[in-house]
Structure 1
Amino acid sequence: MSESEKRPFVLGLTGSIGMGKSATAAMFSARGVPVHDSDAAVHALYGPGGAAAQAIGQAFPGTLTPEGRVDRPALREAVLGDAEKLRRLEAIVHPLVGAEARAFLARHAGAPLVVLDIPLLFETGGQARCDAVLVVTAPPEVQRARVLARPGMTEAALNAILAKQMSDAEKRARADHVIDTSRGFERAEAEVEALIGQLRRPA
């Protein structure tokens, strides 16, 4: 058996905000496919005692709570619209999330298929770790309606998030597989099941 057959097929899962990526990741997880959620990894890194919390507090004063947790709204305000500050934040967080992903892959070395759920997959070069990429999409009007329905979300905040993300059209052009969640999550579930059957490496 070759080296590539001994390791899982690594599927990168990405999509812009409001496209249904998290729901799609949950579909893989519900079918027994190990999923590494980079957002969840960041949440842990930002928590009290998290590997990123103290470094962020030092780099961006006023962004830690008294308990030592990163105050995400305060951090968002601190870096919003400032490319240099955003790069400083990414230099702290991205290597730590990358290390978490490598540990995840090592833990699931015997699995036939694993998913790396990374919102900024293309933007951070994460596709280099993947055998294929799945982009979750939806029309712009559906995306905006979903995101603006979230508590505390504003047009300005949404526009700032979209400005740092690769366009949906470019993501779809670079993807190996695309799922459009605006056609209904039942259809998305069926497409996920078909993709799992197609991509799983033989045991």
Structure 2
Amino acid sequence: MNGHPKPHTIGIIGPPCSGKSTVAEQLVRLGGVWINADVIAKDQLEVPEVIDSLVGLLGTSILDDSGQLSRPSIASLVFGEDDASQTRLKQLEAIIHPRTREVIDAEIERAVDSRFVILDVPLLLERDWDSICDEVWCLKISPERHRVLLNARGWDLAELERREKRQLPWAQKQSRADWVIENNGTKEELAAKVLERVNSFEQRT
């Protein structure tokens, strides 16, 4: 890579509202580039040719009054348990995932001078993104605290469970992570843990 050392690539995983963004923001303050697959995929939903492809696949019911894609309407069609929903989900992923991966690959290339690359991909282990990571960090949060944070964001537990059925169990993900981050304190405490971890692995290199 043009004579530059490869940035330390950190994959971050964890349930919604578990503190991934706080960890990523701390790493950005320490010189990292945050690559957020959810944001990239959401941006793809505004690309005219993607809109046309998805309307052709799922119908005009996925459009809102302004003619843009409605994410809740799409979710209702692809996250069901029936075979038709599963087929639609695979077709949706066949449109969105290659485009998202292309953008992620380009952003990784552009981050060559950065201290870290923070790879925030929901299906990081399931899609083998961990193969390009130097470390994988997994957020862990108590069920009680998690419920409070989910409620504050307006998440429905049933919706969360429905989406997570497509993923590896969190116990299995934690066992595959290089570091499990307990996040049951303040944001400041979480940021301090990140700084300590960074100092630790940089002292080893």
TM-score range for the pair, normalised by the shorter chain length: 0.7 to 0.9
Corresponding position of 2:136? 133
Asked if 2 retains the 8 angstrom alpha-carbon contact of 1:9 and 1:201, the reply is: no
Corresponding position of 1:10? 9
- Which one of 147, 157, 160 corresponds to residue 159 of structure 2? 157
Per the TM alignment, residue 51 of structure 1 is displaced from its structure 2 partner at its CA by: 5.8
Over 3 Å counting, the alpha-carbon distance change for 1:96 and 1:169 in structure 2 is: same
Percent identity between the two aligned chains:
26
Q: Which runs of 5+ in 1 are unaligned?
A: none
Asked if 2 retains the 8 angstrom alpha-carbon contact of 1:19 and 1:136, the reply is: yes
Over 3 Å counting, the alpha-carbon distance change for 1:50 and 1:25 in structure 2 is: farther
Asked if 1 retains the 8 angstrom alpha-carbon contact of 2:10 and 2:119, the reply is: yes
Per the TM alignment, residue 93 of structure 1 is displaced from its structure 2 partner at its CA by: 1.5
Q: Which runs of 5+ in 2 are unaligned?
A: none
State how many pairs are aligned: 200
> Could you tell me how far apart the structure 1 residues matched to 2:56 and 2:17 are?
32
Per the TM alignment, residue 37 of structure 1 is displaced from its structure 2 partner at its CA by: 0.9
SS in 1 for 2:138: strand
Asked if 2 retains the 8 angstrom alpha-carbon contact of 1:16 and 1:165, the reply is: no
Over 3 Å counting, the alpha-carbon distance change for 1:8 and 1:165 in structure 2 is: same
> Could you tell me how far apart the structure 1 residues matched to 2:2 and 2:171 are?
35
**What's the CA shift string for 1:179-201, capped at 9, x where partnerless?**
11113322210111123334459
Over 3 Å counting, the alpha-carbon distance change for 1:46 and 1:109 in structure 2 is: same
Residue 94 of structure 2 aligns to which amino acid in structure 1?
A
- Which one of 93, 107, 110 corresponds to residue 107 of structure 1? 110
TM-score, with length taken from structure 1: 0.86
Over 3 Å counting, the alpha-carbon distance change for 1:69 and 1:23 in structure 2 is: farther
TM-score, with length taken from structure 2: 0.85
> How does 1:1-203 map onto structure 2 within 5 Å?
6-47=5-46, 49=47, 52-61=50-59, 62-65=61-64, 67-81=66-80, 82-151=85-154, 153-199=155-201
> Could you tell me how far apart the structure 2 residues matched to 1:65 and 1:128 are?
38
> Could you tell me how far apart the structure 2 residues matched to 1:127 and 1:181 are?
22
**Does 31-40 or 81-90 show the bigger shift?**
81-90
Asked if 2 retains the 8 angstrom alpha-carbon contact of 1:10 and 1:129, the reply is: yes
